[in-house]
Chains A and B, each alone.
Chain A
């Protein structure tokens, strides 16, 4: 795994799903397995909260209400009332990436976001989604978003905007991948230097790093959606 360093122990290795053979081709399956783990955790937490929904929240419902309410306020102050329409996706992305990242801190688990494929899939989805929302909102007039402030600047601005829009999924992918993969590598290194004891201090640093990375992904998605929603300058 992490940069050729052996991960001490992985559940996926014990379950023998590191690689699977689909239609004769052997493919890497670890990150898919751990993505499913994160999904299972999220689904069961969601069902648990929904099952015990109370008017006066307590315990786990409280935590979720604080996180989701806070994020919704943040989105609505930034995008405006349109934000409520896309909030389920934004909140979902935040929680999904948060749990995927935090999975890397659990012994025997590997963060699925430390594999570039997971991130590329999410970044391409975000790219398609905000363009879809923009086209849905403005119709053919969405092209105005790419043409700059004045009509005679169009020949210059069109390639510029095209490049900066194409760069978005790339930077989303690489940022998340680089940060999480780097953290995984450092964690394995610390574990090799001083098992258990050495990893405890970096846990706190990486907890911050992982929350920050999922927030960055969420915030950038929000900014892109805002750009697609607001009127072209």
Chain B
């Protein structure tokens, strides 16, 4: 039964991988949303209607992609570590 494995320490590896993979999507969306909201409220505050919204939306999208990139690098690093344990270090 997989219940027995839940509290085993070695399986943290899998839990870690699943979590990192599951996190990626929302990280991208939330950065975009925050960028949009920031631009929207700055526009309302400063009265520069469409400009800051667009700029901050683009910044938010870029930040979202940066998050995705960092998360995938984390996944790849874990994968490399596992491979190194199995097949010896990369040359």
Give A199 to B3 CA distance when docked, in angstroms: 19
Give A74 to B6 CA distance when docked, in angstroms: 14
* B84: interface (CB < 8 Å): no
Q: Establish whether residues A212 and B19, one from each chain, have CB atoms under 8 Å apart when the complex forms.
A: yes
Contact size class for B?
20 to 34
- A-facing mask of B9-22, CB < 8 A → 1, else 0? 10010011011101
Q: Establish whether residues B15 and A212, one from each chain, have CB atoms under 8 Å apart when the complex forms.
A: yes
Interface of B, secondary structure class, is helix
Give A212 to B6 CA distance when docked, in angstroms: 10
- The one of B6, B7, B9, B67 in contact with A73, judged by C-beta atoms closer than 8 angstroms, is B9
* B76: interface (CB < 8 Å): no
Assess A163 versus B15: contact at CB under 8 Å? Given A70-B9, A220-B23.
no
Considering only residues 88-134 of chain A, those with a C-beta below 8 Å from chain B are none
A-B contact count (CB 8 A): 72
Residues of B within 8 Å of A67, CB to CB, are 7
Residues of B within 8 Å of A160, CB to CB, are 59, 62-63, 66
Considering only residues 50-91 of chain B, those with a C-beta below 8 Å from chain A are 56, 59-60, 62-64, 66-67, 74
Q: Establish whether residues A212 and B18, one from each chain, have CB atoms under 8 Å apart when the complex forms.
A: yes
Q: Establish whether residues A170 and B18, one from each chain, have CB atoms under 8 Å apart when the complex forms.
A: no
Residues of B within 8 Å of A168, CB to CB, are 30
* A63: interface (CB < 8 Å): yes
Give A159 to B34 CA distance when docked, in angstroms: 11
Give A211 to B22 CA distance when docked, in angstroms: 14
Considering only residues 65-93 of chain A, those with a C-beta below 8 Å from chain B are 66-67, 69-70, 73-74
Q: Establish whether residues B23 and A163, one from each chain, have CB atoms under 8 Å apart when the complex forms.
A: no
28 A–B contacts from the bound complex (CB under 8 Å): A63-B7, A66-B7, A70-B8, A70-B9, A70-B12, A73-B9, A160-B63, A160-B66, A161-B63, A163-B35, A163-B56, A164-B63, A166-B34, A167-B27, A167-B31, A167-B63, A167-B67, A170-B34, A171-B26, A171-B27, A211-B6, A212-B15, A212-B18, A212-B19, A215-B19, A216-B19, A219-B16, A219-B19
